[in-house]
Amino acid sequence: YFSEFQISINQLLLRKQLEKGEFIGALRQVDEMDLSAENLTERLNKIKHEVSRSIVSEDTYARYKRLIEDINLRLTRENEEFEELQEFVRLTKDSLKYQLDNEKDKKAYELILKIDNRLEEVHHEHSKLLQESIVLRTHVLEAAQQALYYIGIDSFNFQQEVVDTLTGQPLPLYTSKTFMEPFLGVERVKVWNPLTVFQKQRLERPDAEEKGRAFVEGATKEELSKGRSRFSQYFKETINGILPLFETKSIQTLEEICTYLQATTPHLLEERLFYDMWMILHQKSPVDLTVLEEDSVLYGIKEALGGITNQIKVVEYEGMVQKVPRFEIKNMLVDLTILQKEGETNEL
């Protein structure tokens, strides 16, 4: 029994000897603590193997768990005592350093230096023991508990342990019910409290649920046709509005077109479709007007430019165009390739 507390006993004796100035005996106690630490290391390794090999029941697991927790608690307290002893040795060493008047004082100072070095080595070994006990308490015990769980699963036979027990021997009704309860689901009782009518209720319109559950229906062919016709008519009116600008020069910038419209029909610059038209033309550029069908949104442009040109080109140009606060668009070059009159130029 006392071997388990040997390090604690050595620590107590070491403190007393240091207080009395018996440094030779104190050095001997430090050496004995080193041996005790080695013995405890061997014992921890033995316990580690026993835990992995001998735990076959909950009782054995609980016994080893208590043993390891006791060892860890004792090592923690001893570690705190080691820190206090090292601090005490340092104070003693500092006090002797300035009292080297004779040979006896010098010898005492040399002994306290040896005690300080040896005590630090023993404390280091003891710290490793503390770390090992923590690992033993956490990982090893946890692994042993999991192994015990899987051993129970492998050894449990439902047919033999449950079914045969119930059907092979007559049991009282209460005993049978108690025996089966762990294998049954949790009982759920459906009750209704009348006070729930006073709780907050979520009110919904009758048609809201039906509308939320319905799939979104796509536009019909008739609606799509009307939309294309509206876009086509708008594009036609817009092109007709800027045609006078192209009578003098067949290549214009979008900046120049917007400036012209700002003076003639400024409401066009406030509409989203105006900017959509130029982006569509830029994406499809060059647009061959001869192949456009009546169901195309660009068919209105073909009607506006009929007999004037068969192609329209729209490419990016430097700068941005913003004539109204709401819309901004990249500047573009618009080429209608209109036949030029004599003396006219296409240069910007």
Q: What is the pLDDT of residues 201-254, one digit of tens each?
A: 777 665 554 554 555 565 677 777 777 888 888 888 888 888 888 888 888 888
Residues 329 and 275: their CA atoms lie apart, in Å, by 7
pLDDT at residue 160 tops 70? no
Pick the closest to residue 56 from 148, 143, 141, 136 (CA basis).
148
Tens-digit pLDDT profile for residues 295-316: 787 888 888 887 788 888 889 8
Report the percent of the chain where pLDDT is more than 90.
Answer: 0
Q: Is residue 136 part of a domain?
A: yes
Q: Residue 145 belongs to what domain range?
A: 2-155
Same domain, 148 and 254: no
Answer yes or no: is 193 within a domain: no
Q: Residue 57 — very low, low, confident or very high, per pLDDT cuts 50/70/90?
A: low
Whole-angstrom Cα Rg for the chain: 49
Which residue is associated with the tokens 């708008």? Answer: 234
Residues 245 and 136 in one domain: no
Q: Are 24 and 128 found together in one domain?
A: yes
Residues 111 and 20 in one domain: yes
Domain membership of residue 42 (yes or no) is yes
Q: Helix, strand, coil shares of the chain as percentages rounded to 5?
A: 70, 10, 20
Task: Please tell me the total count of domains within the chain.
Answer: 2
The residue type found at 84 is: E
Is residue 214 one of the residues assigned to a domain? no
Is residue 129 predicted with pLDDT exceeding 50?
Answer: yes
Q: Is residue 220 part of a domain?
A: no
Question: Does 169 map to a domain?
Answer: no
Q: Which of 338, 240, 318, 231 has its CA nearest to residue 280?
A: 231
At 75-91, the pLDDT tens digits run 888 888 888 888 888 88
Domain end residue (candidates: 105, 124, 155): 155
Of residues 146 and 339, which shows the higher confidence score? 146
Of 113, 139, 155, at which residue does a domain stop?
A: 155
Indicate whether 147 and 279 sit together in one domain.
no
Is the same domain home to 146 and 242?
no
Q: Is residue 267 part of a domain?
A: yes
Co-location of 128 and 246 in the same domain: no
- Do residues 131 and 14 share a domain? yes
Instruction: Name which residue leads in pLDDT, 326 or 207.
Output: 326
Helices (H) and strands (E) in the chain, counts: 13, 4
Q: Is there a single domain that holds both residue 151 and residue 7?
A: yes
* 141-155 helix and 58-97 helix, angle to the nearest 10 degrees: 180
The pLDDT assigned to 158 comes to 64
Per DSSP (E only), the strands in the chain are: 251-253, 287-288, 311-324, 327-335
Looking at residue 6, which CATH number applies to its domain?
1.20.58
Which tokens go with 170?
């007559």
Question: Do 29 and 149 share a domain, yes or no?
Answer: yes
Is residue 54 in a domain? yes
Which residue's structure tokens are 């010098």? 106
Measured at the CA of 253, the angle between CA 249 and CA 255, to 5 degrees, comes to 125
Judge if 122 and 243 occupy the same domain: no
Compute the distance between CA of residue 240 and CA of residue 304 in angstroms, rounded to an integer: 6
Question: DSSP label at 157?
Answer: -
Q: How many angstroms separate the CA atoms of 51 and 143, rounded?
A: 9
Distances from the Cα of 231 to the Cα of 258, 296, 298, 309, angstroms: 19, 9, 8, 21
End-to-end CA distance of the chain: 107
Sheet with 311-324: strands ordered across: 251-253, 327-335, 311-324, 287-288
Last residue of one domain, picked from the residues 140, 155, 170: 155
Q: Is 58:150 a contact under the CB 8 Å cutoff?
A: no
Q: Is there a single domain that holds both residue 149 and residue 231?
A: no
CA distance 194 to 190: 13
